[in-house]
Structure 1
């Protein structure tokens, strides 16, 4: 029992230390706004001070004008009161203006840091994290932190200064009545401690379920056509309903704790006011205090517990923001599994900050020396793998799904790194050349090309931002894309829509090939660029691909074997090993696995054409 109590005490101490470290790290993002924060804090102190003065002004008016029944000196009093009110109006404008600047700046910095981190993280990270998970952290979680930290500073400084000022003035006006009125504060402190832990736990569950719902939204939008084709609307609705129900349940629990906390604060405030009225009324009867003093005490008790309720609200929101902060920082702190050594970074820069360095084009001689690779989940893909590709060769990779084709290509691109052995490019360990230099020399044409919701011109220029318009048009001509681009409504200035939704698959593929041509990489990877297009577009793409492959080391992940007959080498990959190696004619003559695959595909395509002709 004693050991259990000690363990819980240590756990609580550790959590407090972690919480302090988290807020310290988050506040570190607001360093550049330090000047504005200092000014805001000063403004809030003045606001609190003036709020404390107003009841004293009321006390003076009651004792010097109302009770005596005179107006002598009232004009000067009114002028002073108006002047103080004007100053307070200016202060309120300043606090809203500065608070807004700090909020927007902090949100911007968090999102900038998060986005830069995402640019540096490897494929391994994105393999494990759903897009909805990332979107929640970059949008709602960052926004929540910005709001709570900036306005939390405002409310906390104002509330604490206000409460401190009121307590001092009450004790000066009448120490006994002041102590009696403030006797409820310790009870409130205990209630706050009780509720904040429960609010935090419930908010963590809310944010977790919110992330799951965002991921479900993202998947539902992207997978809408698949859901309709498989007529899974009812099942998908039921799955989403389950997530929504869980979110509703946790949100109600969180709201219940918050709803209980604020009434407790208000109730204790009412108790304080009642004490002031009861004991203060008796003191008036005994001529210990004036009517103005009692009225000031009543005003102060109401004012005292108003900032207290605001602080209670901020504490509640801080618990919610703490959950959001933990999630944002968990993303920002994510370990970068693919990083360069410090001396390599000094020479070549980083992917996010290449520092304007010029990178020479690599020749493309690639060698795998006794390479092994295991995914983080424990799946072993390559073992004692050796391969030498001479500069300028076109190499096709074929094999069943899961054989290791994509892994080999991803290792060459350094999206992953070997767990054993070394990969050399142009005779040197490719880790010594730096990520920016390697990626600048890479081109990747995907089976499902990724276009951005910008113009055709900007999409082609994406791989070489400094390319002039003439070079963009020439790249489009070489990719056989110029003709259809000129038929678009605004030509090269036509917006392609989200993911290129305004274009056909073949058109998107031609634009992605134009982008690769303009980037002029030393190594290029093609993931079956013609698998989802009509025969006419396939011919245009094949012709464009041949231009892309000229004088470059290239890798083609082949699904349709008829498209790789001209490759210099064809590697048949099976369970992470090279089963066969040669050109098309050599492998057909070998009568092995490749020949079997080729014959099977040839017969399937012939049968498909016959069925099409018959239809």
Structure 2
């Protein structure tokens, strides 16, 4: 489960993780440079601003000489205009940088999800994945844009202010910076505790996102089983844990920030005391004292900003570790470099080098077991000629779906070979094989959009005429035409508004328009009523024509015309032959078929 990612304990910032995260800024080099320039310029202007106020006090307010005040006012207005322009620039650049980084991370994350094998999705929850590509990605984009901006601004302000203070009065400058060591100790103490709470909150957020997803997708099951109250209690438990963790983090923050403010206020009070005495003694002007008080406030503001940034960084650290762990996840099925060089990969397919698939398939001494060590099959041998239809039957757990998933290379055999047209399919890329596959599931997956778009999903460049022709061939055209908008009828996620049979016919049209060399029908008729089954059977015959096909079925009446029927038991082929041959043997297949026949009678 996603637990394997979320329960890892982290103790410090991972430099390798942040090095990879920072690499997303390389493509935005121009904006990054302009942002740094604007932030440093802003820090310089922030340092100059109090000096202008000091000049006004000493030169104009105390002396009463207003002769050059209009000129100074003009300079002051120009300064404010420049200040405003620089602020606008860095806000614009920070926002743009955040959006660009988030976009690149999401794109890489989604690309990785397309590449990962079935086994990854067997052990990763939807909620975990959604959290990684949404809230965690936003948090990383924010820390790389606004976080770095705040860090650079704060560091530069402290640097320039420190220089200015020592140039004006070294004694008051030392008083101002004397608070720094205490602030550093306090910050380290609180930040480690804040980090721990934030990571707990992030883990709970992933679980809550998963619970939301399961609650929405499983709403019908929840209502039919009347488990609303149990689900609500479980969800309430999750949200309470997240609330408690968030409250604990807030309590620590609520203690931390007043301490920071109080320490800064102590520094300001000491400046007022010592600086006030210097003013009375004539060692310091009123204007310089005001400048120093402004500098003290300005000096402690970046400290608070950087302290807050450390908190955000700790939170972002957890997010970065999770997102990078996803992006760096290695698929269980990886094409060799020389194979990729010839045939390409996702994002750079070299279809001109792809050989056509005839459809001959051979399994040679194939074995397979899951990562847990559980053996599913051993020494499986099977030869299938192109264009033949193979029906696979057997009890639950006998290996029906496994053998099909191995042939489709959704999993790879742990021993032995699978040949496609006489060549080990590992000599070709996954995309080469998958582009020649058609797969129809028991519960067809339809997407939000029009019926036309759902059929076109099988062949993105299909014309409207091809879509209509495919629908006609699988008996879907008639019911589609009954809708006022026909093929432009909008259906909801999962095909809401359509019957199970209608969804299946649309999925058949989608498979047919792709014209696959190898077709998989996985319990495609299991949820169909008897009346609709005739339409489905006619559609299946159209789909099976002139292509190698595999039909996984429990309803044996749907496979009597298959060229070959395999009865699996415990990962082995117990019986093999045509329907007539297996009936004549009067073995397990005969018993299964007659048992279903008696039920129908």
Query: After TM superposition, is the score higher than 0.5?
Result: yes
CA deviation after TM superposition for structure 1 residue 588, in Å: 1.0
CA deviation after TM superposition for structure 1 residue 172, in Å: 0.7
Q: Residue 577 of structure 1 corresponds to which residue in structure 2?
A: 572
Q: Residue 32 of structure 1 corresponds to which residue in structure 2?
A: 27
Query: Is the 8 Å Cα contact of residues 122 and 416 (structure 1) preserved in structure 2?
Result: yes
SS of corresponding position for 1:533: coil
Q: Residue 59 of structure 1 corresponds to which residue in structure 2?
A: 54
1:544-585, Cα deviation, whole Å (9 max, x unpaired)? 110110111100001101110101111110000001001111
Q: Distance in 2 between matches of 1:41 and 1:605?
A: 77
CA deviation after TM superposition for structure 1 residue 355, in Å: 4.1
1:123-148, Cα deviation, whole Å (9 max, x unpaired)? 00000001111111111111111112
Query: Is the 8 Å Cα contact of residues 572 and 594 (structure 1) preserved in structure 2?
Result: yes
Q: Distance in 1 between matches of 2:523 and 2:41?
A: 68
CA deviation after TM superposition for structure 1 residue 363, in Å: 1.3
Q: Distance in 2 between matches of 1:273 and 1:414?
A: 69
CA deviation after TM superposition for structure 1 residue 220, in Å: 1.0
Q: Residue 263 of structure 2 corresponds to which residue in structure 1?
A: 268
Q: Residue 214 of structure 2 corresponds to which residue in structure 1?
A: 219
Query: Is the 8 Å Cα contact of residues 351 and 435 (structure 1) preserved in structure 2?
Result: no
Query: Is the 8 Å Cα contact of residues 166 and 304 (structure 1) preserved in structure 2?
Result: yes
Matched, 1:476 2:477: no
Q: Residue 165 of structure 2 corresponds to which residue in structure 1?
A: 170
* Structure 1 range deviating more: 230-239 or 438-447: 230-239
Q: Residue 195 of structure 2 corresponds to which residue in structure 1?
A: 200
* Alpha carbons of structure 1 residues 361 and 495: separation in structure 2 relative to 1, 3 Å: farther
Q: Residue 339 of structure 1 corresponds to which residue in structure 2?
A: 334
After TM superposition, list the pairs within 5 Å mapping 1:30-179 onto structure 2.
30-179=25-174
Q: Distance in 2 between matches of 1:359 and 1:549?
A: 23
* Structure 1 range deviating more: 541-550 or 243-252: 243-252
SS of corresponding position for 1:260: helix
Matched, 1:533 2:533: no
Residue 237 (structure 2) aligned to one of 230, 237, 242: 242
Q: Distance in 2 between matches of 1:491 and 1:143?
A: 40
SS of corresponding position for 1:376: coil
Query: Is the 8 Å Cα contact of residues 443 and 516 (structure 1) preserved in structure 2?
Result: yes
Q: Residue 277 of structure 1 corresponds to which residue in structure 2?
A: 272
Q: Distance in 2 between matches of 1:178 and 1:595?
A: 96
After TM superposition, list the pairs within 5 Å mapping 1:121-520 onto structure 2.
121-357=116-352, 359-520=354-515
Query: Is the 8 Å Cα contact of residues 361 and 521 (structure 1) preserved in structure 2?
Result: no
Query: Is the 8 Å Cα contact of residues 204 and 241 (structure 2) preserved in structure 1?
Result: yes
SS of corresponding position for 2:364: strand
What TM-score do you get using the length of structure 2 for normalisation? 0.97
SS of corresponding position for 1:421: strand
* Structure 1 range deviating more: 182-191 or 352-361: 352-361
Q: Distance in 2 between matches of 1:154 and 1:357?
A: 47
1:228-278, Cα deviation, whole Å (9 max, x unpaired)? 111111111111111111111211222222222222221111111111101
Q: Distance in 2 between matches of 1:388 and 1:569?
A: 11
CA deviation after TM superposition for structure 1 residue 360, in Å: 4.1
Q: Residue 4 of structure 1 corresponds to which residue in structure 2?
A: none
SS of corresponding position for 2:348: coil
How many pairs are equivalent?
593
SS of corresponding position for 1:422: strand
SS of corresponding position for 1:76: helix
* Structure 1 range deviating more: 393-402 or 486-495: 486-495
After TM superposition, list the pairs within 5 Å mapping 1:10-25 onto structure 2.
16=12, 19-25=14-20
1:497-525, Cα deviation, whole Å (9 max, x unpaired)? 11111322111111111111111111100
Query: Is the 8 Å Cα contact of residues 451 and 487 (structure 2) preserved in structure 1?
Result: yes
SS of corresponding position for 2:443: coil
5+ residue gaps, structure 2: 1-8
Q: Distance in 2 between matches of 1:502 and 1:47?
A: 58
1:390-418, Cα deviation, whole Å (9 max, x unpaired)? 11111111011110000000000000000
5+ residue gaps, structure 1: 1-11, 607-615
CA deviation after TM superposition for structure 1 residue 38, in Å: 0.8
User: How well do the aligned residues superpose, as a CA RMSD in angstroms?
Assistant: 1.4
CA deviation after TM superposition for structure 1 residue 356, in Å: 4.8
Query: Is the 8 Å Cα contact of residues 342 and 350 (structure 2) preserved in structure 1?
Result: no
Residue 560 (structure 2) aligned to one of 565, 575, 581: 565
